[in-house]
Amino acid sequence: MPRGRKVQRKQISPDEVYGDVKVARFINYVMLDGKKDKAKKIVYTAFEKAGEKLGEEPLAIFNKVLATIKPEVEVRSRRVGGATYQIPVPVSQRRGEALAMRWIIDAARSRQGSPMAEKLAEELVNAYNGEGDAAKKRENVHKMAEANRAFAHFKW
């Protein structure tokens, strides 16, 4: 039986350049210390650079990258009889997109040397091609879920 009320999700308005809510959410993930203008500049510059490198529409690149990096399953911890098991569970659409965005940004931030817009553009290009740290993270999550498939019957 569910506890409490259903969570009221905040409505995010679409960004002004592409008119897409996912891009607006991505900008919010990139933003640090409330500096949204800086985050917008970084994201739009990265999108343009990735579009030039791949020769495609930046929004199409972004949507394909999200679809590529988004995980289908993840593992959740569950205590059963004193032991903790890693149980594979399917990932919802919204959580999958959030994880993909977070992984892309974390992979870009972990790179050294160049400005954030360039690092983000490189990570978008790598993720578009199925390479890079974000794609590795997705593969690791899927391997963990596959390895713990035997505990799937503990799912709640």
**Does residue 74 form part of some domain?**
yes
Express each pLDDT in 26-75 by its tens digit. Answer: 999 999 999 999 999 999 999 999 999 999 999 999 999 999 999 999 98
CATH no. for residue 129? 1.10.455.10
Count up the domains in the chain and report the number. 1
**Does residue 15 form part of some domain?**
no
Mean pLDDT of 8-20: 91
**Above 80 in pLDDT, residue 140?**
yes
Quickly state the pLDDT bin for 1 (edges 50, 70, 90): low
Give the model's pLDDT for residue 20.
93
* Contacts of 48 by beta carbon, 8 Å cutoff, 6+ apart: 58
3-state SS assignment for residue 75: strand
**Does residue 4 form part of some domain?**
no
Asked whether 75 and 144 are in contact (CB, 8 A), the reply is yes
Domain containing 30 equals 21-154
**Does residue 5 form part of some domain?**
no
